[in-house]
Structure 1
Amino acid sequence: MTIPVQLLRSVPVAQGTTAFHFSKPAGFGFKPGQACDLILPGQAQNNGADTRHAFSIVSAPHEDELVFATRMRDSPFKRALAQLQPGTTMELDGPFGSLTLHKKAERAAVFIAGGIGITPFMSMVRHAAHSHSTQPLVLLYSNRRPEDAAFLTELQALAAAHAPLRLIATMTDMAHATQPWDGATGAIDSALLQKIANGLDAPIFYVSGPPPMVAALRDTLEATGIDEDDVRSEEFYGY
């Protein structure tokens, strides 16, 4: 069964990336890291890729809106989404997905996000900060350029305010950047992952982003000596 939600506003959060804010239905619950299908108006009975799309929920469970963010690619669905006006009613199907935080809070979590793969982790870190969780969290966030990094300013503020969260943001294509960056550059590699793993107690790794990146990082984690049972991942097709 689908649920109607109303578009409240859309906000650019990075170059080519937009966050869509929707009304939150009464009693709607989800776990940080889960996703929903957004369905274009009047298309609830249509399962085609041009009428619905899965998005991780950016907002945390305590927030009074449902927020989804996406790269605005030139696809029929994205073009239709971009044209929707505030007040438009869409249909929501979900929540679903198992990329959620493990229950043993004594074990650290290492989130590895590439580009728009940051979205499920936004919900997790917002929830951790709101609930004053003491669980150690490390977020590795890779983008080509600072202007491509959605929610980067918010993440920097969260890491500064919530001591158990450590943020390591890196840029891989500063030669084509228009914004300055004095942080890390280069890809997330085995040396960095090994350094992080050695400093944490039995961490579990979460990887989210484009399929090639997820596959490459899973291989890197395995080469680093991380047990595959301690690696969870989600691939963002079509983002």
Structure 2
Amino acid sequence: MSTYSTRLIGSELVAERTMAFHFEKPADFVFRAGQAIDLVLPTVEENGQAARHAFSLVSAPHETRLSIATRLRGSAYKEGLHALAPGAGVQVDGPFGSLTLHKDVARDAIMIAGGIGITPFVSMLRQVAQQRQERRFVLVYSNRRAEDAAFLDELLALARDYPGLRFIPTLTQADNVPPGWTGRIGRISGALLAEVAAQAPIYYVAGPPPFVEAMQDDLCRHGADEDDIRSEGFYGY
């Protein structure tokens, strides 16, 4: 990995208690959609050093900025990140990570996201939509409430505009569904996984570690080859 110095451009709320942060993209920074960075904050100290945290990039490689998104928790790191003013300097280590799209476009990609685990998939879908790649995707996106679903409007728009994408959002709190909700209600079930199954797909799973482990087990129980499942657990989000 390489280390780059950059600056915050700005931030925005993308869901309840969830912020996206946008940074200047160093001229020589090259990455693949779905990869991650370590974001180092000189204003926060951990164990005598500047604090760092790993984030999947939500921006796509063709974009002119680097963007991450995270839930706002009560940690010193998250408070320091939230307090950054536009123009504040940070460091980026990376890119790293292997949760990137397979090259065989004949094989469908089935993406399963829990909460903020959506970020690498937004990066991937922005990239393939911009390139107008002719390939098929299914994205299943689970949140407790619609207010928690980061990038929901963007993903709905992508599904309308990009013929290769089937988008299935689902809410797990059945008593908290907003009027007009057109997605699913309930946890991701074996029946849903069987419904979205395709011929020899590659599965991608991202979210909190318990969610990732449960989805991997369910996929294997429903016939998926574990060699065709790629996953990333999001710790500390």
Give the TM interval when normalised to the shorter protein.
over 0.9
Distance change >3 Å, CA 49–CA 110, structure 1 → 2: farther
Counterpart amino acid of residue 116 in structure 1: I
Counterpart amino acid of residue 229 in structure 1: D
CA contact (8 A) 2:43 2:50 kept: no
The 5 A counterparts of 1:60-75 are: 60-75=60-75
Structure 1 runs of 4+ with >6 Å offset: 46-50
Q: Which residue of 2 aligns with 1:112?
A: 112
Unpaired segments ≥5 residues, structure 2: none
Aligned partner of residue 235 in structure 2, secondary structure: coil
The 5 A counterparts of 1:182-201 are: 182-197=182-197, 200-201=198-199
Rounded Cα–Cα distance in structure 1 between residues aligned with 2:177 and 2:52: 33
Aligned partner of residue 208 in structure 1, secondary structure: strand
Q: Which residue of 2 aligns with 1:11?
A: 12
* TM-score, length basis structure 1: 0.94
Rounded Cα–Cα distance in structure 2 between residues aligned with 1:15 and 1:223: 34
Rounded Cα–Cα distance in structure 1 between residues aligned with 2:146 and 2:49: 30
Counterpart amino acid of residue 226 in structure 1: A
User: 1:107-128 CA deviation, whole Å, 9 max, x = no partner?
Assistant: 0100000000000000000001
Q: Which residue of 2 aligns with 1:148?
A: 148
Deviation for aligned residue 1:183: 1.8
Say which is worse superposed, 187-196 or 90-99, in terms of deviation: 187-196
Deviation for aligned residue 1:172: 0.5
Rounded Cα–Cα distance in structure 1 between residues aligned with 2:109 and 2:178: 32
Rounded Cα–Cα distance in structure 2 between residues aligned with 1:168 and 1:179: 17
Q: Which residue of 2 aligns with 1:28?
A: 29
Give % identity.
Answer: 55
Distance change >3 Å, CA 49–CA 10, structure 1 → 2: farther
Counterpart amino acid of residue 106 in structure 1: A
Rounded Cα–Cα distance in structure 2 between residues aligned with 1:43 and 1:145: 32
User: 1:154-189 CA deviation, whole Å, 9 max, x = no partner?
Assistant: 000011000001100000014245675232101111
Deviation for aligned residue 1:220: 0.4
Deviation for aligned residue 1:50: 7.4
Deviation for aligned residue 1:2: 1.6
Distance change >3 Å, CA 50–CA 176, structure 1 → 2: farther
Rounded Cα–Cα distance in structure 2 between residues aligned with 1:229 and 1:49: 38
Counterpart amino acid of residue 28 in structure 1: F
Higher strand share goes to which structure?
2
* RMSD over equivalenced CA pairs, Å: 1.8
Aligned partner of residue 41 in structure 1, secondary structure: strand
User: 1:212-232 CA deviation, whole Å, 9 max, x = no partner?
Assistant: 100111110011111101111
Rounded Cα–Cα distance in structure 1 between residues aligned with 2:59 and 2:229: 24
Aligned partner of residue 230 in structure 2, secondary structure: strand
Rounded Cα–Cα distance in structure 2 between residues aligned with 1:102 and 1:56: 17
CA contact (8 A) 2:42 2:50 kept: no
Rounded Cα–Cα distance in structure 2 between residues aligned with 1:94 and 1:47: 21
The 5 A counterparts of 1:1-239 are: 1-41=2-42, 51-176=51-176, 181-197=181-197, 200-239=198-237
CA contact (8 A) 2:171 2:177 kept: no
Counterpart amino acid of residue 18 in structure 1: M
Aligned partner of residue 116 in structure 1, secondary structure: helix
* TM-score, length basis structure 2: 0.95
Rounded Cα–Cα distance in structure 2 between residues aligned with 1:57 and 1:50: 20
Rounded Cα–Cα distance in structure 2 between residues aligned with 1:5 and 1:154: 26
Rounded Cα–Cα distance in structure 2 between residues aligned with 1:223 and 1:71: 31
